[in-house]
Amino acid sequence: RGTTCSANISWPAGRSGACCRSDSSRSERTSPLAEPPSKPTAVSLIVLWQIEHSRIYGPLWKSKFGPLVVVNVASAQLIEQVLRQEGRHPVRTDMPHWRDYRELRSQAHGPLTEMGEKWARIRNILNPRMLMPRHVSAYGDSINPVVDDFLCRLAWLRDTRGRGLVVHDLTGELYKFAFEGICSVLFETRMGSLDEAMPEETQRFISSVGEMFHLSAVLVLFPRWAWPYLPSWRRFVAVWDHLFRVAEDLVRKKMEELQRMAQQDGGVEGAYLTHLLLGGHMTLTEILGSITELLLAGVDTTSNTISWCLYQLAREPQIQDQLYREVLAVCPGDQVPDSDAVSQMPLLKAVVRETLRLYPVVPGNARVSVEEMVVGGHLFRKDTLFHLCHYAVSYDQSVFPDAHAFLPRRWLRDGGEKLRQHPFGSVPFGFGVRGCLGRRVAELEMYLLLSRLIKQFEVRPDPAGGAVTPITRTLLCPSTLINLQFVDRASGGRRPPASS
């Protein structure tokens, strides 16, 4: 069907050799993919690397990351071609470091690490209570009390540590909110993250999650055979041990609670974890593996996205005022937004969608071809690892005019621009059957919190702060602290002139 690329692609243990060939039946091109000089790339520079290399080499090129060789895809059209051919059981990556830990400790794989038919079975069990709107909307009753506590904590931090105006390290505080929120949904319990004095065990768990993601980014740069000899691997195992111990303790407490309820009156009520425990479709080990992975995936999306939302709204007072008026029109007076109310707030959703375009939590996703596929006129063999450069595509001027500007209106139907956008220009929650399992819950958390924050506070930039840029630590997050002013709207304070 064409000529084989000149590069010799080596794959880690367990993966067959793979290369691309030009498909002469679909394209006249027979040249191999461009390959940048092979040199280490700092994890923190990956987002800039996407844009720079796509500018130099075009929308399709090959790179090496430690032992991995990947085909980078940096156009909406080509990303669509990859995702449309992903098959019934899409494969992101092997995630060998996560999988090796589970095999080492005889832990079950969850929706992030399982593959094939076993993955499909897990997703079919987990999906309904995570993705069906009627089930997700019910979680608002668990999330809104967490929002109440966060708003109180925000005001307390401002008044006691920010001289009555500034909240420092907003992302760190929102991480506590997101952790508390997802625990209230998954484990049906509160962890005390928003207490004035956070429980030591909760603080250690939160720190362990961050350390696990950091170590994950380090380990993939080394060959698999070297891991047992690395201090970072030993620490990685210890961190995962702690995460599973805490999750196992929470599951055990829920089981004991359900047993007490059954003994008292025979009636058992609960939400997500209760449904899994009583459903009889998964073993306890499988529930533990799945619930732990869902927890890890559910924190950073909410905390980082709301941080960037507020950062941008503080810099765009007109958009913030429009959002405030929308929230107030739907929920006047002391009315608290719920899932039904936020469904009537198109600008609120557009603000979140535009934030996820500018700052995709996962700047680059991956797919492994499950069979031969043609992308951009090139034929790729089975087991080719594709890196989908979502960050670069988010800033593609041909897809998003004025791409560096924060313009939520581009997502509103009456603006007309949404109808002209490529559907794969921004896919922050993935696509198809392997799309983000926790998307609906994360969106509900963000909508409920953001609507109430904007209703209660006017958000302004910190005069002592500067521009904040993103950095990649496995996930996309702020490179420096985001500090913002929160002014009570009831105070009647007006925004000072820009010169002040």
pLDDT at residue 33, as a whole number: 74
pLDDT at residue 266, as a whole number: 63
Chain mean position to CA 221: 22
pLDDT at residue 36, as a whole number: 65
pLDDT at residue 93, as a whole number: 79
Domain ranges of the chain: 20-491
At residue 374, what is the residue type?
Answer: V
5 is in an annotated binding site: no
Whole-structure pTM value: 0.87
pLDDT at residue 18, as a whole number: 43
pLDDT at residue 20, as a whole number: 54
Residue by residue, pLDDT tens for the chain (500 residues) are 333 232 332 233 333 334 455 443 333 333 567 666 544 344 445 667 888 889 999 999 998 877 778 999 999 999 999 999 998 899 887 789 999 999 999 999 999 999 999 999 999 999 999 999 889 999 999 999 999 999 999 999 999 999 999 999 999 999 999 999 999 999 999 999 999 889 999 999 989 988 998 899 889 889 899 999 999 999 999 999 999 999 999 999 999 988 888 877 766 677 899 999 999 899 999 999 999 999 888 788 899 999 999 999 999 999 999 999 999 999 999 999 999 999 999 999 999 999 999 999 989 999 999 999 999 999 999 999 999 999 999 999 999 999 999 999 999 987 656 557 899 999 999 998 999 999 999 999 999 999 999 999 999 999 988 899 998 877 888 999 999 999 999 744 344 343 33
CA dist., res. 477 & res. 489, Å (int): 29
pLDDT at residue 45, as a whole number: 55
Fold of 20-491: Cytochrome p450 (1.10.630)
Q: Could you tell me the CA-to-CA distances from 80 to 76, 83, 89, 478 in Å, in that order?
A: 6, 5, 17, 28
Could you give the 3-state DSSP secondary structure of residue 28? coil
CA dist., res. 150 & res. 91, Å (int): 37
Spatial CA neighbour of 45 closest among 476, 472, 479: 472
**Is residue 180 within 8 Å of residue 191, measured between CB atoms?**
yes
pLDDT at residue 174, as a whole number: 96
pLDDT at residue 46, as a whole number: 61
DSSP string covering 405-465: S--GGGG-GGGSHHHHS-TTS--TT--GGGS-TTHHHHHHHHHHHHHHHHHHEEEEE-TT-
pLDDT at residue 32, as a whole number: 65
